[in-house]
Amino acid sequence: MSQPEAMALATSDKRGRASVRYVLLKQVDERGFVFFTNMGSRKGREIKANPYVSFAIHWKPIDKQVRVEGRIERVSDEEADTYWDTRPRLSQLGALASHQSAVITHREILTQRWLRLEQKYRNRAVPRPREWTGVRIIPDRIEFWEEEEHRLHHRDLYVRSRSGWRRQLLQP
């Protein structure tokens, strides 16, 4: 399992058109699931238009899948800064150089921009771009899927209600 924290994240625009891509799950706690990205990206724009998202993770070596649905909120600037500070300098420069999801005519434009930023911030901290932040998915449905014999897989669904989480078994 090379990257067990890779999750396929689905978003949709205000017309309901879906798009999916992998992102890395970086934090999990009682508040939800956090990944980091540039809010100016396609996914960022879609999340602003429709805050309901879904993700799935598949762990083949243990034959399990986890699916989550919920609403997103941007993490605080303090949380985003704390995580930004843990990133390697070269990744920080990459994030600063890239206007994620925008069209570019030549790759050299990007590498030149990266080189200029590398010079500029040679002896000082690389600032976090304002649009680069953490996004927390606050779950209201979580499904644990486990492969079983005869294709009779096990599916445990937890649905959040006002009184807490309700558990239901689903047919495979």
Active site residues: 151
DSSP letter assigned to residue 162: T
- Shortest distance, CB of residue 145 to ligand FMN, whole angstroms? 21
Q: Around Cβ 54, how many Cβ atoms within 10 Å? A: 19
DSSP string covering 102-123? ---S-HHHHHHHHHHHHHHTTT
29 to 58: interface string for ligand FMN, x by CB under 6 A: ------xxx---xxx---------------
The closest alpha carbon to 120, from 89, 151, 150, 141, belongs to 89
Residues 87-106 that bind ligand FMN (CB under 6 A): 100-101
Residue nearer to ligand FMN on the CB measure, 21 or 71: 21
Which window, 21-29, 61-69, 118-126, 164-172, contacts ligand FMN (CB under 6 A)?
21-29
User: CA-CA distance, 140 to 53, in Å (whole number)?
Assistant: 11
In the complex, least distance from residue 13 CB atom to ligand FMN, rounded to whole angstroms: 11
Determine the Cα–Cα distance for residues 53 and 55; give it in Å rounded to an integer. 7
Question: Which chain residues interact with ligand FMN by CB under 6 A?
Answer: 3, 6, 19, 21-24, 35-37, 41-43, 100-101
